[in-house]
């Protein structure tokens, strides 16, 4: 009896250790490819990223397609800025960094900094082109 309980205990322990190891390997394997973490977007949604520095937006022109839905993501790389899309009722900043939006009217729209950020504020502009 004593002997039987002992080997049962050993069996349970080694099973627990093996399961824990397998789980660890699984976590490593699952965690690794997510390191550069890709954006998970809903089907049919595209990503529009806007990054601001002192005193520029990362692109002089942003191109989007009319009729398509975009997840717009704004971030500041340097300084504290905002991005207002003129005539579209869209305004991004650190407290409102992202929004889903469908562009419907083709045209050129001005994007400008919407937060007083310093010397280059007035010149901080870009263009959104809805094609």
Binding segment for Cu ion (CB under 5 A), chosen from 13-21, 44-52, 99-107, 119-127, is 119-127
Q: Identify which of residues 69 and 75 has a Cβ nearer to Cu ion in the complex.
A: 75
Binding mask 62-81 for Cu ion (x = CB under 5 A): -------------------x
Residues in the interface with Cu ion (CB under 5 A) total 4
In whole angstroms, how close is the CB of 64 to Cu ion at the nearest point?
Answer: 23
Give me the half-sphere count of Cα atoms (radius 13 Å) on the Cβ side of residue 125: 7
Output the smallest distance, CB 52 to Cu ion, in A.
Answer: 8
CA distance 40 to 26: 21
Stretch that binds Cu ion, among 57-65, 70-78, 90-98, 105-113 (CB under 5 A): 105-113
Across the chain, how many H-helices and E-strands are there? 1, 9
Burial state string for 70-99 with b = 16 or more CB within 10 A and e = fewer than 16: bbbebebeebebbbbbbeeebebbeeeeee
As a dihedral over the C-alpha atoms of residue 128, residue 87, residue 82, residue 45, rounded to 10 degrees, the angle is: -60
Out of 113, 126, 128, 130, name the contact with Cu ion by CB under 5 A.
113
Q: Are 49 and 19 in contact (CB under 8 A)?
A: no
- The correct pick among 49, 121, 125, 129 for binding Cu ion (CB under 5 A) is 121
Q: Which residues bind Cu ion (CB under 5 A)?
A: 81, 113, 117, 121
């Amino acid at each position: 009896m004593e002997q039987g309980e002992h080997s049962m205990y050993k069996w349970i322990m080694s099973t627990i250790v093996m399961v824990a190891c397998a789980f660890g390997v699984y976590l490593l394997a699952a965690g690794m490819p997510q390191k550069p973490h890709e954006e998970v977007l809903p089907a049919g949604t595209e990503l529009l990223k806007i990054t601001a520095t002192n005193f520029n937006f990362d692109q002089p022109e942003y191109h989007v397609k009319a009729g398509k839905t975009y997840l717009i993501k704004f971030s500041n790389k340097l300084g504290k800025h905002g991005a207002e899309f003129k005539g579209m009722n869209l305004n991004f900043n650190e407290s409102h960094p992202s929004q889903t939006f469908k562009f419907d009217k083709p045209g050129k729209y001005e994007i400008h900094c919407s937060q007083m950020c310093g010397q280059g504020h007035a010149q901080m502009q870009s263009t959104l082109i809805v094609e």
